[in-house]
């Protein structure tokens, strides 16, 4: 026997018949398109023309470099960042600006902006229904503002500091006048804001300067008083006098120590030369003596005379002896004079030593005074810093106050914005554009009517055709094992199976019925649950599907629960076995609304096997009776397809009002007799053998049904 086919193969769309409907109904499509186009043309012809004016504002620095307080510090600072420019858009469209423009142009006197709160019949109905507020209860000023906002569009040009003000109106002159007035009012409002800010600054600075002047005087007076009481006098380099004196003393002490050391060294060298009897010519201090220099000159002269006379006279000559005696006297005089130089050097060294001691004592005393002066100077500097800070703050306040006062007096407060493009009176309305509206209406109406025609053709079923090989072939009647063959009995011939009068046969005491008869018995008996067992496997599951559809076609609420391992019952009804189902419900992965779907070809609902792990779902199989009870409450009949199940395994599915049915295709199959016998032995009497033989769908399948 062939297996159960997928529901996707039961019906095909006849594309030729579908699109030929457009050719058959083109007069109706064209007529509807022309009607809609005529309505669009009438609307474009009768609509009030709208004109639009555009004014552009540039956000930039208007302050001159010659009037800036500090041009160097403000040279690199931007006027406004991106958020600041966007904020100016809100300022331009603010209520304050719009009110001033409305008053300036007297917009309240125009019907376009103030219609007096009159509304038509439709508007009155909406007001009574609470869907619209009554315009007559809104003040005239609010109505004007609302009308202005409806016609106003203010936006910032991307990546620029340009703000565009667009305004539309039925009056072209007004369309240009309003955006220009809004831009001018915005400039004036910004200037007034700067004036107010400047006035607030001068009002705040005046008392601050007065108070700060007094504080500066007090701080400077504290500095002078502290300097006078602490005897801290400043030298030329703005340091304390005692500190400068201490530095000078240290310098003088170093010089005196150097002089003493030099004098002691000279005296020591002269003393050593005298003690050794050596020559004194190498001693600078001895040679620097004038007397010694004269004696040295005489000594040189005597030596020259002796040398001259020695050439003619003998050494013992009285003349030579006299000269040598004079030379010896000169040596003694030179030595005596050198001793005097030594004494002078010793005296100089002693004097330098005494001077050093005196300077050292004075230096120690000055250090003590400098330490005391240092502490006082720290306090003095703190007072000076306070006075300097107060004075600098006062000077900055005075500078700002003079600048603010001069700007206020001269009324010079440039706004960081200017109008660089003013709106002109438009000559051509921007709305309505008759040709684009008519063309768009004609094309859109053609498309809409074509789509409506195609949908009508699909829903009527005229564009559908049965797929090749659809339906079940006739099933040959075979007697149940253990019972006499009735193949020759006309009541069991294949042609007689669908008839209601000859559809019942007896095999082993069990009735064998057709799909229609089984559905009638379930409906007439008031069964709330139908348990199908299919011993022959997946192919026999077709009986439960057909019975469920028959009951659903009778107008009852029916759900088919597929408990087969392969999803043989639900797959033909849903075209796929990938839908969530009872296993997902048992595994707590889904809810009832997620696992219940609609049969593609009937009003029957389907709960497929599902996509959850079967082992995980079987751990919660005890929940299955609860699920069935819930479904029985919601549906008139619950059809359960169990597949080739045993009698013991369906016990938890049976309840009051349940009917057990056996699906049969080949009656001679031994598994059918065994299953029927086992069910009877387990207490399930009044079994019905249901065969799908000869059953045909009562109507073509309905495509594209949505899932529940």
Confidence of residue 120 (pLDDT cuts 50, 70, 90): low
Peptide bond preceding 265: is omega within 30 degrees of 0, i.e. cis? no
Whether the pLDDT of residue 548 is over 80: the answer is yes
Q: Given this model, what pLDDT does residue 671 score?
A: 77
Whether the pLDDT of residue 565 is over 50: the answer is yes
DSSP structural state of residue 285: H
Q: Chain-wide mean pLDDT for the chain?
A: 78
Segment (H or E) for 153: strand 152-156
DSSP structural state of residue 481: T
The Cα-based distances of 470 to 8, 80, 697 in angstroms read 10, 75, 10
- Which whole number is the average pLDDT over 436-455? 91
Weakest mean pLDDT among 22-31, 350-359, 463-472, 547-556: 463-472
Whether the pLDDT of residue 175 is over 70: the answer is yes
The Cα-based distances of 104 to 60, 97, 170 in angstroms read 27, 11, 19
Which has more pLDDT, 492 or 456? Answer: 456
Distance CA 266, CA 215 (A): 66
Whether the pLDDT of residue 509 is over 60: the answer is no
Whether the pLDDT of residue 688 is over 80: the answer is yes
Beta strands in 590-698 (DSSP E): 597-598, 605-607, 637-641, 658-663, 688-691
Q: Given this model, what pLDDT does residue 666 score?
A: 75
User: How would you write 164-230 as a 3-class SS string?
Assistant: EEEEEECCHHHHHHHHHHHHHHHHHHHHHHHHHHHHHHHHHHHHHHHHHHHHHHHHHHHHHHHHHHC
- Which whole number is the average pLDDT over 207-221? 90
Which has more pLDDT, 368 or 509? Answer: 368
Weakest mean pLDDT among 45-59, 224-238, 299-313, 362-376: 224-238
Which has more pLDDT, 182 or 541? Answer: 182
Whether the pLDDT of residue 470 is over 50: the answer is no
Sorted by sequence, the CB contacts under 8 Å of residue 60 that are 6+ apart come out as 79, 161, 416, 417, 418
Distance CA 621, CA 510 (A): 31
Q: Given this model, what pLDDT does residue 653 score?
A: 87
Q: Given this model, what pLDDT does residue 605 score?
A: 95
Q: Given this model, what pLDDT does residue 117 score?
A: 56
- Give percent above pLDDT 70 in the chain: 76
Distance CA 415, CA 406 (A): 17
- Which whole number is the average pLDDT over 68-80? 54
Q: Given this model, what pLDDT does residue 25 score?
A: 85
Which has more pLDDT, 160 or 488? Answer: 160
- Which whole number is the average pLDDT over 563-572? 88
Confidence of residue 185 (pLDDT cuts 50, 70, 90): very high
- Which whole number is the average pLDDT over 672-700? 76
The Cα-based distances of 316 to 300, 305, 310, 320 in angstroms read 21, 15, 10, 7
Confidence of residue 420 (pLDDT cuts 50, 70, 90): very high
- Give percent above pLDDT 90 in the chain: 24
Q: Given this model, what pLDDT does residue 237 score?
A: 59
Confidence of residue 2 (pLDDT cuts 50, 70, 90): very low
Q: Given this model, what pLDDT does residue 345 score?
A: 75
The Cα-based distances of 682 to 274, 650, 679 in angstroms read 156, 10, 5
Count of helix runs (H) and strand runs (E) in the chain: 21, 15
Confidence of residue 419 (pLDDT cuts 50, 70, 90): very high
pLDDT in tens, 638-668: 999 998 888 888 888 888 888 889 988 876 6
Weakest mean pLDDT among 77-81, 153-157, 325-329: 77-81
Which has more pLDDT, 677 or 369? Answer: 677
Structure tokens at 436: 């684009």
Highest mean pLDDT among 91-105, 379-393, 522-536: 91-105
Confidence of residue 674 (pLDDT cuts 50, 70, 90): confident
Distance spanning both ends of the chain, measured CA to CA:
33
Whether the pLDDT of residue 95 is over 70: the answer is yes
Q: Given this model, what pLDDT does residue 411 score?
A: 67
Which has more pLDDT, 629 or 117? Answer: 629
Q: What is the pTM (predicted TM-score) of this model?
A: 0.45
Which has more pLDDT, 692 or 217? Answer: 217
Confidence of residue 458 (pLDDT cuts 50, 70, 90): confident
Whether the pLDDT of residue 599 is over 50: the answer is yes
């Amino acid at each position: 026997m062939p297996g159960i086919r997928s529901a996707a193969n039961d019906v095909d769309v006849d594309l030729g018949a579908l699109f030929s409907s457009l050719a058959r109904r083109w007069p109706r499509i064209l007529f509807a398109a022309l009607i809609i186009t005529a309505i669009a043309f009438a609307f474009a012809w009768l609509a009030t023309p709208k004109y639009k004016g555009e004014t552009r504002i540039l956000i930039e620095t208007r302050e001159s470099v010659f009037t800036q307080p500090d041009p160097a510090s403000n040279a690199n600072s931007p006027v406004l960042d991106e958020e600041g420019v966007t904020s100016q858009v809100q300022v331009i469209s603010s209520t304050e600006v719009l009110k001033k423009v409305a008053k300036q142009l007297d917009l309240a006197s125009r019907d376009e902006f103030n219609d007096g709160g009159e509304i038509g019949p439709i508007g009155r109905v909406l007001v009574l229904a609470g869907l619209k507020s009554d315009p007559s209860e809104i003040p005239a000023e609010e109505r004007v503002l609302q009308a202005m906002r409806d016609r106003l569009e203010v936006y910032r040009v991307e990546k620029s500091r340009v703000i565009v003000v667009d305004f539309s109106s039925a009056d072209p002159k007004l369309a240009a006048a309003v955006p220009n007035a809004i831009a001018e009012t915005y400039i004036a409002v910004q200037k007034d804001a700067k004036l107010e800010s400047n006035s607030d600054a001068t009002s705040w600075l005046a008392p601050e300067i007065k108070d700060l002047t007094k504080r500066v005087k007090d701080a400077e007076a504290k500095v002078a008083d502290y300097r006078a009481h602490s005897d801290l006098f400043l030298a030329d380099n703005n340091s304390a006098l005692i500190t400068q004196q201490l530095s000078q003393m240290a310098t003088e002490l170093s010089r005196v120590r150097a002089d003493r050391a030099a004098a002691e060294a000279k005296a020591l060298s002269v003393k050593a030369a005298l003690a050794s009897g050596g020559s004194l010519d190498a001693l600078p201090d001895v040679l620097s003596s004038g007397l010694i220099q004269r004696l040295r000159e005489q000594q040189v002269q005597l030596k020259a005379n002796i040398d001259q006379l020695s050439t003619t006279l003998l050494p013992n000559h009285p003349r030579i002896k006299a000269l040598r005696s004079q030379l010896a006297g000169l040596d003694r005089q030179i030595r005596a004079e050198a001793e005097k130089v030594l004494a002078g050097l010793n005296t100089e060294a002693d004097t330098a030593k005494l001077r050093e001691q005196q300077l050292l004592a004075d230096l120690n005393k000055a250090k003590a005074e400098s330490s005391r002066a240092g502490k006082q100077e720290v306090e003095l500097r703190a007072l000076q810093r306070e006075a300097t800070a107060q004075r600098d703050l006062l000077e900055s306040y005075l500078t700002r106050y003079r600048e603010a006062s001069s700007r206020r007096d001269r009324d010079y407060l440039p706004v960081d914005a200017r109008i660089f493009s003013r709106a002109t009176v438009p000559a051509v309305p921007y709305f309505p554009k008759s040709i684009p509206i008519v063309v768009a209406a004609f094309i859109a109406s053609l498309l809409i009517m074509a789509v409506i025609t195609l949908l009508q053709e699909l829903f009527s079923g005229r564009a559908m055709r049965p797929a090749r090989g659809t339906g079940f072939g006739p099933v040959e009647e075979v007697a149940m094992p253990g019972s006499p063959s009735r193949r020759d009995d006309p009541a069991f011939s294949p042609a007689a199976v669908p008839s209601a009068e000859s559809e019942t046969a007896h095999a082993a005491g069990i009735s064998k019925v057709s799909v229609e008869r089984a559905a009638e018995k379930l409906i007439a008996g008031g069964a709330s649950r139908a348990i199908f067992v299919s011993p022959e496997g997946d192919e026999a599951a077709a009986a439960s599907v057909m019975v469920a559809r028959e009951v659903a076609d009778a107008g009852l609420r029916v759900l088919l629960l597929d408990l087969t391992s392969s999803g043989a019952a639900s797959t033909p009804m849903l075209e796929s076995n990938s839908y969530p189902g009872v296993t997902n419900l048992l595994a707590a992965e889904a809810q009832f609304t997620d696992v219940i779907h609609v049969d593609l070809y009937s009003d029957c609902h389907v709960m497929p096997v599902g996509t959850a792990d079967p082992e995980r779902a079987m751990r919660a199989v005890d929940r299955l009776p609860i699920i069935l009870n819930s479904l029985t409450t919601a549906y008139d009949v619950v059809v359960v397809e169990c597949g080739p199940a045993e009698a013991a395994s369906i016990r938890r599915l049976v309840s009051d009002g349940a009917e057990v049915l056996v699906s049969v295709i080949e009656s001679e199959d031994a598994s059918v007799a065994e299953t029927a016998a086992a069910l009877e032995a387990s207490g399930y009497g009044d079994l019905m053998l249901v065969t799908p033989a000869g059953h045909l769908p009562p109507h073509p399948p309905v495509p594209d049904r949505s899932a529940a």
